[in-house]
Structure 1
Amino acid sequence: MATKRALEGQLAVVAGFENPSVALEQYPTPPDLAAHVVHVADLQGDVEGRTVVDLGTGTGMLALGAALRGPARVVGLELDPSALRTARENQRRVGTTTPIHWVVGDAARAPLCLCPTEPTTVVMNPPFGAQDGASGADRPFLATAASMADVSYSVHNAGSEAFVEAFAADNGGEVTHAFRATFELDRQFDFHEADRAEIETEVFRIEWTG
């Protein structure tokens, strides 16, 4: 198995959003965070030989990270077609030979074709709900994960532990692992005051049995 640092290096070529949307909270997942999440998932046996679905894949960072660790196939679901065009370009940059299916669709209402019968892992960095009126934006992503996955890994704003644990318990799931991670964000919107900011996040592994 390649090291986490090696995976991070492979993901360093992944391009972000050309015209990020504030409403969709299109912030690129940093390579180090993606490598950390995928590496942990791989160590738990949740990647190799499985179907991996990246909900709200954006330009493909988590999907491509998983594709480099030997899954049977990867599905990247994204509402924004322009982001998926970049994801396809990123696939060529990364050079993975794993079958990747890029699908335009809403992660909150995933197409029926994304309910595989084989062992499935969801990886996702859902919206944090930071914009006005967007509180709870990560809830439908978790609901979709519960409907299709045996296990999921998701990145949330710091302080989400009680919510995620309660949601999992109410939907046939259990949080088995949790760890903190720093989300480094470069300035990309006019309302950002600093050139770079650090956002404290929490990553949760959930086993779904319901």
Structure 2
Amino acid sequence: MTEGNAGSTRRRLAQELAVVAGFEDPRAPLEQYHTPPDLAAHIVHVSDLQGDVEDRTVVDLGCGTGMLALGAALRGPDRVVGVDVDPAPLSTARENERRVAARTDVSWVRADATRAPLCPDDPVTVLMNPPFGAQSGNEGADRAFLETAVDIADVSYSVHNAGSEAFVESFADDEGGEVTHAFAAEFDLPRQFDHHEDESRSIDTEVFRIEWR
């Protein structure tokens, strides 16, 4: 696939994901932010190019309203599972699944993503935009999500605050994994919580692909 075709494919996926509704009543302690369609499309597109979607189970940990899960489902994996502890966004995710009309059905599971009740036998790819641990009392939240990826995934893609490279690489090394790809991405945040001062702002993030075994 040429660079031009790849860009076109990624843009088309972002357009398809633009219909995905976000959180109606986001909860700050859970750091519930709507993953931007452009970012989700980029992650799914890279994972597809790496052979991490076709003939696999794709799991979206902390799926929220389903952006990453539905992006993967549009690429035709064997199975997609979205896991979230909050029932409200899961209800929205089911509505979003109908809006997107994905090629693969998604199983929406209400559970703590850091203790996901999953024991898949086939190859698993985890796609996730975990909490960054920015809220007081929620420090290290992204580590807990990575720990789940270690348990269930062959490969994972995760979004982290910019400057997380040393932490992610160290964690992967400790668990016998390897960071194979990393790229920077902007994350647009609308004003949705009382502690937000701007109507919207963009934060710098990093996405990591990790092979676990």
In the superposition, the TM-score normalised over structure 1's length comes to 0.97
Match of residue 110 from structure 2: 104
Equivalent residue number for residue 124 of structure 1: 128
Matches within 5 A, 1:25-104: 25-104=31-110
**Secondary structure at the counterpart of residue 23 of structure 1:** helix
Partner of 1:14: 20
Secondary structure of 2:131's partner? Answer: coil
Aligned counterpart for 1:5 among listed residues 1, 6, 11:
11
Are the aligned partners of 1:173 and 1:207 in contact in 2 as well (CA < 8 Å)?
yes
Distance 2:169 2:113 in 1: 20
Q: How large is the Cα RMSD of the aligned pairs?
A: 1.0
Please give the alpha-carbon distance, in whole angstroms, between the structure 2 residues aligned to 1:141 and 1:130.
14
- The code of the aligned residue for 2:201 comes to A
* CA drift at 1:133: 2.3
Q: Shift of the alpha carbon at 1:134?
A: 1.6
1:172 to 176, 197, 201: 176
Deviations 1:56-115 (A, max 9, x none): 00000000000001100100000000110000000000011302100000011111xx12
Equivalent residue of 1:82, what SS?
helix
| Distance in 2 separating the partners of 1:135 and 1:205 | 22
Query: Which residue is 1:200 aligned to?
Result: 204
Q: Aligned partner of 1:98: which letter? A: T
Once the two structures are TM-superposed, the CA of residue 118 in structure 1 deviates from its matched residue by 0.3
Provide the rounded CA distance (Å) in 1 between the counterparts of 2:164 and 2:158: 11
Deviation of 1:168 (Å):
0.5
Q: Which runs of 4+ in 1 moved over 4 A?
A: none
Deviations along 1:132-171, one digit per CA (max 9) or x if unpaired, are: 1222110110000011111000000111000000111111
Structure-2 separation of matches of 1:23 and 1:153 = 23
Maintained 8 Å contact 1:172/1:208:
yes
Aligned length: 207
Kindly indicate whether the alpha-carbon contact (under 8 Å) linking 1:72 and 1:99 is maintained by their aligned counterparts in 2.
no
Structure 1 counterpart SS, 2:99: helix
Residue equivalent to 1:148: 152
Determine the C-alpha separation between the residues in 1 that align with 2:135 and 2:124.
Answer: 31
Aligned sequence identity (%):
71
